[in-house]
Structure 1
Amino acid sequence: MASQDHSYLHKKVMPIGTVCELTGLSERQIRYYEERKLIFPQRTDKGNRKYSFSDVESLMEIANKMEDGIQTAEIRKELLKRKEKNSEESLRNTMIKGQLNAQFHKGSIR
């Protein structure tokens, strides 16, 4: 149920104008971060960008790092490392759940 509680964070529902209001960033800045492959909005059939609340959080983090003088290439490397770590953790959790289920079913057959 916890994943359902956070599913709204990842739904791409906000237009760029709303994201600008929430973050204080300009459309130009947001598009630049997209060009630098730091953010990945969804596109509608008409080509409009849609963002999620987690995208807004990422944009704020990116903007803060840029203000601190960190280059976009460094930010991208950090984001990739974080994504890899999350993937590894997710895989490990899936494997543990599988092992627990196997042990549970093995024990209930006896």
Structure 2
Amino acid sequence: MAQKNDPYKFKKVISIGIVSELTGLSPRQIRYYEERKLIFPERSKGIRKYSFADVERLMEIADKREEGVTTREIRNEMTKEVREKMLKGQMNAHFHFRS
């Protein structure tokens, strides 16, 4: 997964057509994953823009779907990961730890 020290990975500059070519997913599949709250593209004048981190995430989602994992399970896993990162950050701030 992208690291915070790779800021280019997080810039939302890639169109859905390019994302489709890079991932092998159809634009409809990509929009579906957005509807299911698995990815969060930026929108400007009705045009979706994705980052390289989004592309990586979509490829992870596609792999999991091929393994039979449901979108609900993927979203629950994402939520759990976010909660764990937040808790770790709060604990680090409270106890002045550095990771």
TM-score (norm. length: structure 2): 0.85
Deviation of the 1:24 alpha carbon: 0.9
1:16 maps to which residue? 16
Pairing 1:38–2:26 present: no
2:89 maps to which residue? 90
1:71-90 equivalences in 2 (<5 Å): 71-90=70-89
TM-score (norm. length: structure 1): 0.77
**Superposition misfits of 4+ residues, deviation over 6 angstroms:** none
**Pairs aligned (count):** 94
Q: What's the % identity of the aligned pairs?
A: 56
Query: In angstroms, what is the RMSD of aligned CA positions?
Result: 1.6
What are structure 1's unaligned runs of at least 5 residues?
98-110
Deviation of the 1:6 alpha carbon: 1.5
* CA–CA distance in structure 2, aligned partners of residues 77 and 25 of structure 1: 22
Pairing 1:59–2:58 present: yes
SS at match of 1:40: coil
Deviation of the 1:94 alpha carbon: 3.6
* CA–CA distance in structure 1, aligned partners of residues 93 and 15 of structure 2: 34
What are structure 2's unaligned runs of at least 5 residues?
none
